[in-house]
Amino acid sequence: MSGTRQLHIGFCLTPTWLKGRRAEPDELPSPHDPASFYIDLAKRAEQAKLDFAFKVDYLAFNPAMAGGQGGPGLEPNILLAAIARETQRIGLVATHSTTFNPPYIVARQIQSLHWLSQGRAGWNIVTSIEGAENFGDAPMPPPEARYRKAAEFTDVVRRLWQSYPPSGADGLPQAHPIDHAGEFFSVKGPLNVRGHESGPPPIFQAGASDIGREFAASVADATFASAPDMAAGIDLRSDLRARAERLGRRADDIRVLPGLYFFLAPTREEAWELHRRAHTHLNHERRVESVRTVLGLDISRLGPASRVTPDMLPVPDAPVRSRTHADLLRRFIEANSPTVEELLARPEVVGSAHWVSVGTVGDVIADIVEWFGAGAMDGFIALPGGSTGSLDLFLEEMVPALAARGLFRTEYEGTTLRAHLRMS
């Protein structure tokens, strides 16, 4: 529907619907052919006309991903290159860390994927919160240093993408060095993979802390935002749009796409049972420990009805594992002074700060319509929860229902990720 605001929908290539339960062998990636599992998922997402398939990545051993529910931790660019050969339209977004990789390598990898997919590649920038022990003896840099490095890294990658354009004035490619010398990197260039005629790969970014928001507003075409409730989504989107304009960009240049962790079933009772089952492994003690890990706050001696008030919070700059999740949980406590029971049920505590919606297809669509109408997001990245049936309902019923309402496409109008994201 040309001229009508529609959702952007991506799909996370991780079996989130198996979280919290023991999966059957046929539900998991095969140890002998793990790529086929993800290729089949991407094909199904493409049949639903989704904007892109999104691959997270870890540069450290993660028991939940390596050999567990996610199967082998395949390198994202290699996996997405295999998917590119088996799909035609869906975008392919790879995660690469700016803390541990050299920019020339990442620029080359993403540009190569852009060519293999004929303009469908995207780059999800992360600064990483762990993994330093796999790249030397130096400790993990503080957030401020990681984001300074990320800003320089991103600038270098973008200049490298421009250093070998599709063609020059005479119709032939004209490569040129970038001669970069900065705080973290010295890169001569040019890149040895020329640019694609469709334009450079779109850039995604996931940080929602203050420093992460500033970085996202400066470079991101889309954000994989953490927004556990609609108020947080409205705040994040309005803040990012204002920051983008202050930095000389248009507000619409940045698309806010929270992760939507949903539990779909034919009835609400069945959906809530899926949600309960997915979190049974998180007992009271583990949730209390999660609050301590996320926020640095010990609530172990408080009763379920006790209030957690702003004056109990640690100092804002106290060391935490993830500044994004800590800031989100701080804002919730400052605004609500929740009971311990309410706090322990929060997405930031039981999951990863994503928006959670539970119910029938109609219930979850109602949530999406409310968030979209309120300006809390421009779309979402799908994280099906609870069961394979929840995944099937999303792809086979929910997305077509959104399309029937005019909120999503019925057919692809373009062939590139830039076209799907409606980038000029």
CA distance 16 to 407: 25
Instruction: Output the CA torsion sign for 324, 330, 334, 337.
Output: positive
User: Which residues fall in the annotated binding site for FMN?
Assistant: 57, 95, 147, 209
CA distance 205 to 126: 7
Dihedral angle, C-alpha 240, 243, 249, 253, nearest 10 °: 0
Residues 153-189: b if buried by 16+ CB within 10 A, e if exposed: bbbbbbbbbebbbeeeeeeeeeeeebebeeeeeebeb
Going residue by residue through the chain, which has 424 residues, state the pLDDT in tens, using 9 for 90 and above: 345 799 999 999 999 898 767 777 778 788 888 899 999 999 999 999 999 999 988 888 766 554 455 555 889 999 999 999 999 999 999 999 999 999 999 999 999 999 999 999 999 999 988 888 999 989 999 989 999 999 999 999 999 999 999 876 566 668 999 999 999 999 999 999 999 999 999 999 987 788 999 999 999 999 998 888 899 899 999 999 999 999 999 999 999 999 999 999 999 999 989 988 888 877 889 899 989 988 889 999 999 999 999 999 988 777 666 677 788 789 889 999 999 998 988 877 876 678 999 999 999 999 999 999 999 999 999 999 999 999 999 999 999 999 999 999 999 999 999 999 999 7
Locate 404 and state its tokens: 């029937």
Burial of 249 (0-12, 13-18, 19+ CB in 10 A): middle
User: Which residues fall in the annotated binding site?
Assistant: 57, 95, 147, 209
CA distance 38 to 72: 11
CA distance 224 to 354: 10
What structural domains and CATH numbers belong to the chain?
8-267+355-420 (3.20.20.30), 284-348 (no CATH)
124 near 259, Cβ under 8 Å?
no
